Structure 1
Amino acid sequence: MKAFGKILGLVLLGLLLIVVALGFALTHLFDPNDYKDEIRQIARDKAHIELTLNGDIGWSLFPWLGLELHDAAVATLAKPAEPFADLQMLGLSVRVLPLLRREVQMSDVRVEGLNLRLNRDKDGHGNWEDIGKVPKPATTATPADATSEPEQPTTAQAEKPAQPIRLDIDSLTVNNARVEYSDEKTGKQFSAESIQLSTGPVHDSTNIPVKLTAFLGTNQPVLRVRTELNGELRFERALQRYKLEDMKLSGEVAGDPLQGKTVTFAAQGQLLLDKAANVAEWTGIKVSANQLRALGELKVNDLDKTPQVNGGLSIAQFDLAKFVDSIGQKLPAMAEGSLSKVELATRLTGTPSSLTLDDINLKVDDSTFTGRIAVEDFAKQSLRATLKADTFNVDRYLAPKSAEANSAKQVRQAEVASTEADAMAGAGSTPLPQSPTKEAWSNERLLPVERLSKLDVDADLTFGQLTLEKLPIHNAVLKANGQGGLLTLSSLRGDLYEGNFEAKGTLDVRQQAPVLNMQTQISRVPAEKILESQGKEPPVKGLVTLNSTLTGSGNSQKALIETLNGNASFVINNGVLLNANLEQQLCKGIATLNRKSLSGEPRGKDTPFQELKGNLTFRNGVASNPDLKVRIPGMTVNGDGDIDLRVLGMDYRVGIIVEGDKSDMPDPACQVSEKFVGIQWPLRCRGPLELGAKACRLDNERMGQVASKLAGERISEKIDEKLGDKVSPELKDALKGLFKR
């Protein structure tokens, strides 16, 4: 028995030596380079590819089936002269005996200088679509060919599907590879160059260390990206689960969109793809791009249908203005320090065509927003927003006035100051200015019509305090929507100082000149505060109540004002006409009729009033006010005139009905006798609107009519005194009438 074992051992040793000898003989006596043509033909017949072997083929047989290809290229049979891939060297070795068990055990796999060229032609056909396909014959198929049916698999084949091959590789190395994609129809090109890939042992259900570096590029726009990826790859083919654990991606981006700037980015986390459950996850997200830092998690469901994304995102506080500048972009001009503190936390859901941010907590400088923002359709830019803010200063984020606008404003202020000086000089004896301020409104483009015409938005915003044009608005509410070029302001309301306001309207940008319709209600808001917020010196103080319905068209301030039409009514209560002592002007008129001079200086420069009201009719930028009424202690004022908003000018004829000087120490020169009571004393107010009541002066033309009337009344008194009852009443009335005309 012992001898039998020894004999068996010697036989096995002999067989092994024979196999080794045969392998040595095959590898040394058989040269595969002599059979390149046969190898090419096998590639055509079996793999349906065109294989070009310019370099040598090296090989070994046992115990490793080794293969080395040098300077090889692969093309499709449809275009054999246009290789889509070539390489400098491919080296691999496979253990022979495990192949019999459908196990692939490989040593190091090494690929050098791989070039892969993917091209889509003008008809949209990609060259990779022909890989492994036999070209269609030029002649048409015979009827027998057309009617022949493909061979059906046998029952045994159907019942015994091929089992997956077990993969076992010591390592994989790819050096200096390049992948290029081009689209002839669009002219776009994408490339990945200097690809370096290295892995540890590749086994199913084990972690595989992976390192990948590459330079990515595009031509539309021109971009260059340096990337480096590290992690541990794990695949479980039986469960159809694939993981990339401890993933770290980093790199830099440069190119035309960045205007010479560079973006440094990094991303970390755990990636999972579960094809059996149709789920993908990215957990432990850490992302950075220059100053931006973000954390979060994402999960995608229904990969086999319409993918559904959900997760959370948190962006740490960063300087958005500096970040935008660091990526070569520019924000609209705004106040210094704006957008320097931005922070966001939210839950997100989405699909390939939509994105929703829920439970938003957004901090922008000194403001905090909460609520929801959704883009329901990326293609249509359908925006839906429901936000609530504690406080927000809009002025901080608006563009400052241009140098031209500031210059025009300074010129206008100089003109007003000059006019005011002239008007106030000589105690009101100088003539009225002949024309009001010119070029009061800007011709600059006001609305981004192209963007607004494509807008699909529905917004519901509320603010604890909103600052707009320096006006502090409390409990502000904004509800607006827009679609197809028609924007509707459903409501804009809030509390302003002691009063409140509400506005609604539409903006139609579907036509060449945008059309604006606006309805406004203002209740008991200080008029001077509104005017001061516009940078204007208020001519009046008081609580204003206004109702208006106005329309205009155009895309500049000037165009809108010149086409302004509509109606308005206003009331100002408990007010003051600033820098305008109407009582002093009236005293001057009475003193003139009394042929006396005023003995003292004016006791004040303002005129308080109980109520100022009227109605306005707008026609192409000119507001007609036929029924101005002002109730002032001791007098009543009636007015009739126009306000030309095109040049911010006014022209009013004002009549004052006097009750008399009610002051404790009246000026003797302007004491009112009974014959002056009830007479309407005329003023003319003409000039820049900024002057307000300071532009009002005694109307000398109509003062003559008042003097004639008073002279007629004196003559009538003398007629009554002289004639008494000596003549008939009819004759006396006729004589009086002669002097009253």
Structure 2
Amino acid sequence: MKAFGKILGLVLLGLLLIIVALGFALSHLFDPNDYKDEIRQIARDKAHIELTLNGDIGWSLFPWLGLELHDASVATLAAPTQPFADLQMLGLSVRVLPLLRKEVQMSDVRVEGLNLRLTRDKDGHGNWQDIGKPATAAAPTTGTEPAASNKPESAGQPLKLDIDSLTVNNARVEYNDEQSGKQFSAESIQLSTGPVHEATSIPVKLTAFLGTNQPVMRVKTEVDGKLRFDRVLKRYQFEDMKVTGEASGEPLQGKTMTFAAQGQILVDLAANVAEWSSLKISANQLRALGEFKANSLDTTPQISGGLSIAQLDLARFLDSIGHPLPAMAPNSLSKVELVSRLSGTPSSVTFDELNLKVDDSTFTGLVAIDDFAKQAVRIQLKGDTFDADRYMPPKSAEASSASVARKAEVQSSEAGALAASGDTPLPEAPTKSGWSTARIIPVTRLKALDLNADISFGQLTLSKLPIQNAVLKANSKAGVLTLENLSGNLYKGSFAANGSLDVQPMLPVVKLQTRITNVPVEKILQSQGQKPPVTGLLTLNSNVTGSGNSQSALISSLNGTASFMLNDGVLLNANLEQQLCKGISVLNRKTLSGAPLGKDTPFKELKGTLVFRNGVASNPDMIVRIPGLSVKGDGDIDLRVLGMDYRIGIIIEGDTRAMPDPACQVGKNFVGIELPLRCRGPLELGAKACRLDKEGLGKVAAKVAGNKLTDKLEEKLGDKVSPELKNALKGLFNR
């Protein structure tokens, strides 16, 4: 705007010099058209511009000095053949006598067909920078006339403007930057004003079509209001300003945005402040109120103010401006409103004392962008409740297909796993993966992101898990996203996690440490839509790493360690008592008289450690404590297909209470005997995938038979056999 104002001022100065020259001609009663060459020379010598007058010059005499220029153009002396401005007609009239008092009293000023072309070349030089400068190659002035003084005019009372009206029709302004290739234009400019007097309200109306090429944009706009200025006080006001228009182009993806703004604008250059009060803004469905103030206009402007955005359907608004959101749950982001204080600079903005409502959630705190160029985002928010699941994108077709195939395989295995009888063969090991191969990490965005976030929630729903008092602290810099803390209370238990995501390598690298304490495991599984095979309070500590940009890749590259403990639990739909009774009845060589009454197996403790190697978790030390029994397990969990393969031993610890069936009566011969089970199949089946290991049972039978034979020998021989012989016999049959 400063450059344009300078250009306009120099053009007007040149025109005034032309008027003086015409006055000289008029005073000698000559036709000014006969003196075009002299007028052009005066323009070169006094205004340092190249003036071309292709049309006639109209004029009038006292008391009005009238002038009409037709088909004229103006160029700099550095490029006289490349006009930067031309016009079809300029008409104005000036009272002669007030000029002697440094007062400019004009009638209507009319400008038709003004065309202003501003260009910055590849070296960064603008053609407007040469306006008013003498040609560098111009020869020094010869003759007796003294050279024009370069001293500035003494500061005096500025000219007083008094214009009846100003009208500009069909004007065009064009800017072309050859360095960046950017172009800006304002076409079909129509400007009209009321009487122009200093320190009075001047009605102004402006319409124009604005355009850019990077990106391609077209804007139709209209400005209406009252302009007031005081050049002595350097104070400028735009009262009752109203701006309306429509915008379209590449950023809007073929959509059209209607916009409007109004308010009172004040610029005080003496105090270096600017204000925009009573602000009202609308853009399609968006409605906002506010006020802004800027200080230090002469250095780095400091902006402050307040903003209030009325409730709107944000999803619908973004779709209307060509930026639709990913698919979400119905009515998501349909009720969004914001109230905030605002501060900033030309390169930053901060929303403080923020109150943001999103659907059924309310957030308070601060959101800031410290550096627009670096995308440096700072977030400090506290929310009441927030359901993150409703804003997550739906599963991709590929992920859904993999999930369906996986579910079908599990159902097939479950149909064949008759846990009540244990007579069916072991389920087959799963082969279908339920993990998606779709990309899940926005690598490009994360590499550019500079983030520092501290967010807390009274209740957060994430992956259908209701987390109480959730805390999220994270930062991102140079392609490394660090999760400092993600913690909260879950089903009367607690959890905490920290880790990092590094997108600098070719394959993103994830590191994660988790701590879960006394969380009901069945609640977690139910929230994920799975039938829990077990219940109990889970305590888990893990430290794992993975690489890749999909669920499948991350799981397949999973490495690390974990330890787990499940207290006060129940193996659902899996009666180990039945498996035990069946094994004991075989050893007793008796037939079970009926089925056990219970269908579940309660336990006091289930614990062990896991070692992850490329997506397979080895568990060599699983232990389950059941009243009267001890269960040990050794096996693998293949997380790639969510399958398991375990060998489990059930050890009778001496519980000799009456069993539901006499065929599985526990005697002293069975104390310490380990009954073997084999568990194989989909992980979701849990203990329903376990069967009696008949191969291992044969070895147990031999051991039990040895115990019984030893007892009979002791009964027959009594004290006649030495203790050494008894021990030898026991060892023989226990091998």
Q: TM-score, normalised by structure 2?
A: 0.92
Q: Deviations over 1:283-314 (max 9, x none)?
A: 00000000000001000000011100000000
Letter of the 1:644 counterpart? D
Asked if structure 2 preserves the Cα contact closer than 8 Å seen for 1:453 and 1:486, the reply is: yes
Report the CA distance between 1:485 and its aligned residue. Answer: 2.1
For 1:366, the equivalent position in structure 2 comes to: 360
Alignment root-mean-square deviation, CA: 2.3
Asked if structure 2 preserves the Cα contact closer than 8 Å seen for 1:661 and 1:671, the reply is: no
2:647 counterpart of 1:643:
no
Letter of the 1:380 counterpart? K
Q: Distance in 2 between matches of 1:663 and 1:41?
A: 126
Equivalent runs, 1:84-483 vs 2, <5 Å: 84-137=84-137, 153=151, 160-424=154-418, 427-483=421-477
Letter of the 2:50 counterpart? E
Q: Distance in 1 between matches of 2:88 and 2:174?
A: 17
Asked if structure 1 preserves the Cα contact closer than 8 Å seen for 2:409 and 2:430, the reply is: no
User: 703, 716, 719: which one pairs with 2:697?
Assistant: 703
CA 1:68/1:28 → structure 2, altered by over 3 Å: closer, same or farther? farther
Q: Distance in 2 between matches of 1:237 and 1:310?
A: 26
Partner secondary structure for residue 134 of structure 1 = coil
Q: Distance in 1 between matches of 2:310 and 2:515?
A: 42
Report the CA distance between 1:605 and its aligned residue. Answer: 2.0
Equivalent runs, 1:566-577 vs 2, <5 Å: 566-577=560-571
Q: Distance in 1 between matches of 2:571 and 2:476?
A: 42
Asked if structure 2 preserves the Cα contact closer than 8 Å seen for 1:465 and 1:474, the reply is: yes
Report the CA distance between 1:442 and its aligned residue. Answer: 1.6
Report the CA distance between 1:597 and its aligned residue. Answer: 2.2
Report the CA distance between 1:28 and its aligned residue. Answer: 11
Report the CA distance between 1:388 and its aligned residue. Answer: 0.7
Partner secondary structure for residue 608 of structure 1 = strand
For 2:486, the equivalent position in structure 1 comes to: 492
Report the CA distance between 1:429 and its aligned residue. Answer: 2.3
Letter of the 1:456 counterpart? D
For 1:35, the equivalent position in structure 2 comes to: 35
Q: Deviations over 1:329-362 (max 9, x none)?
A: 1212211110000000000010111111111010
Partner secondary structure for residue 466 of structure 2 = strand
2:66 counterpart of 1:66:
yes
Asked if structure 2 preserves the Cα contact closer than 8 Å seen for 1:493 and 1:500, the reply is: yes
Asked if structure 2 preserves the Cα contact closer than 8 Å seen for 1:172 and 1:200, the reply is: yes
Report the CA distance between 1:685 and its aligned residue. Answer: 0.8
Deviates more, 1:343-352 or 1:534-543: 534-543
Partner secondary structure for residue 181 of structure 2 = coil
Report the CA distance between 1:715 and its aligned residue. Answer: 3.3
Q: Distance in 2 between matches of 1:26 and 1:682?
A: 124
User: 664, 668, 674: which one pairs with 1:670?
Assistant: 664
Asked if structure 1 preserves the Cα contact closer than 8 Å seen for 2:658 and 2:665, the reply is: no
Letter of the 1:304 counterpart? D
2:53 counterpart of 1:53:
yes
Letter of the 2:597 counterpart? R
CA 1:627/1:381 → structure 2, altered by over 3 Å: closer, same or farther? same
Q: Deviations over 1:595-617 (max 9, x none)?
A: 22222123122111111111112
Q: Distance in 1 between matches of 2:255 and 2:442?
A: 28
Q: Distance in 1 between matches of 2:149 and 2:182?
A: 43
Q: Distance in 1 between matches of 2:707 and 2:223?
A: 106
Asked if structure 2 preserves the Cα contact closer than 8 Å seen for 1:437 and 1:688, the reply is: no
Report the CA distance between 1:27 and its aligned residue. Answer: 8.7
2:636 counterpart of 1:612:
no
2:678 counterpart of 1:684:
yes
Letter of the 1:408 counterpart? A
Q: Distance in 1 between matches of 2:201 and 2:148?
A: 43
Report the CA distance between 1:634 and its aligned residue. Answer: 2.7
2:552 counterpart of 1:541:
no
Deviates more, 1:408-417 or 1:102-111: 408-417
Q: Deviations over 1:5-36 (max 9, x none)?
A: xxxxxxxxxxxxxxxxxx9x959952111111
Letter of the 1:64 counterpart? W
Q: Distance in 1 between matches of 2:211 and 2:654?
A: 89
CA 1:702/1:224 → structure 2, altered by over 3 Å: closer, same or farther? same
Partner secondary structure for residue 239 of structure 1 = coil
Q: Deviations over 1:533-586 (max 9, x none)?
A: 223221111111111122222222122222222221111111111111111111
Partner secondary structure for residue 40 of structure 1 = helix
Q: Deviations over 1:189-236 (max 9, x none)?
A: 111111000000000101100000011111122111110111000001
Letter of the 1:63 counterpart? P
Asked if structure 2 preserves the Cα contact closer than 8 Å seen for 1:577 and 1:607, the reply is: yes
For 1:146, the equivalent position in structure 2 comes to: none
Q: Distance in 2 between matches of 1:152 and 1:74?
A: 23
CA 1:730/1:658 → structure 2, altered by over 3 Å: closer, same or farther? closer
2:642 counterpart of 1:652:
no
Report the CA distance between 1:662 and its aligned residue. Answer: 6.9
CA 1:278/1:732 → structure 2, altered by over 3 Å: closer, same or farther? closer
Q: Number of paired residues?
A: 707
Letter of the 1:693 counterpart? A
Partner secondary structure for residue 225 of structure 1 = strand
For 1:589, the equivalent position in structure 2 comes to: 583
Partner secondary structure for residue 198 of structure 1 = strand
Letter of the 1:438 counterpart? K
Q: Distance in 2 between matches of 1:739 and 1:500?
A: 52
Partner secondary structure for residue 427 of structure 1 = coil
Deviates more, 1:657-666 or 1:258-267: 657-666
Deviates more, 1:422-431 or 1:651-660: 422-431
Q: TM-score, normalised by structure 1?
A: 0.92
Partner secondary structure for residue 424 of structure 1 = coil
Deviates more, 1:528-537 or 1:287-296: 528-537
Unaligned runs of at least 5 residues, structure 1: 1-22, 142-148
Report the CA distance between 1:259 and its aligned residue. Answer: 2.1
Asked if structure 1 preserves the Cα contact closer than 8 Å seen for 2:403 and 2:435, the reply is: no
CA 1:534/1:253 → structure 2, altered by over 3 Å: closer, same or farther? same
CA 1:120/1:64 → structure 2, altered by over 3 Å: closer, same or farther? same
Deviates more, 1:85-94 or 1:618-627: 618-627
Report the CA distance between 1:508 and its aligned residue. Answer: 2.1
CA 1:570/1:150 → structure 2, altered by over 3 Å: closer, same or farther? farther
Q: Distance in 2 between matches of 1:314 and 1:723?
A: 100
Report the CA distance between 1:711 and its aligned residue. Answer: 2.1
Q: Deviations over 1:607-649 (max 9, x none)?
A: 1111111111222222121211111123111111111112211
Asked if structure 2 preserves the Cα contact closer than 8 Å seen for 1:485 and 1:508, the reply is: yes
Deviates more, 1:270-279 or 1:415-424: 415-424
Asked if structure 1 preserves the Cα contact closer than 8 Å seen for 2:68 and 2:92, the reply is: yes
Asked if structure 1 preserves the Cα contact closer than 8 Å seen for 2:532 and 2:684, the reply is: yes
CA 1:353/1:523 → structure 2, altered by over 3 Å: closer, same or farther? same
Q: Percent identity?
A: 73
Letter of the 1:121 counterpart? D
Q: Distance in 2 between matches of 1:165 and 1:231?
A: 25
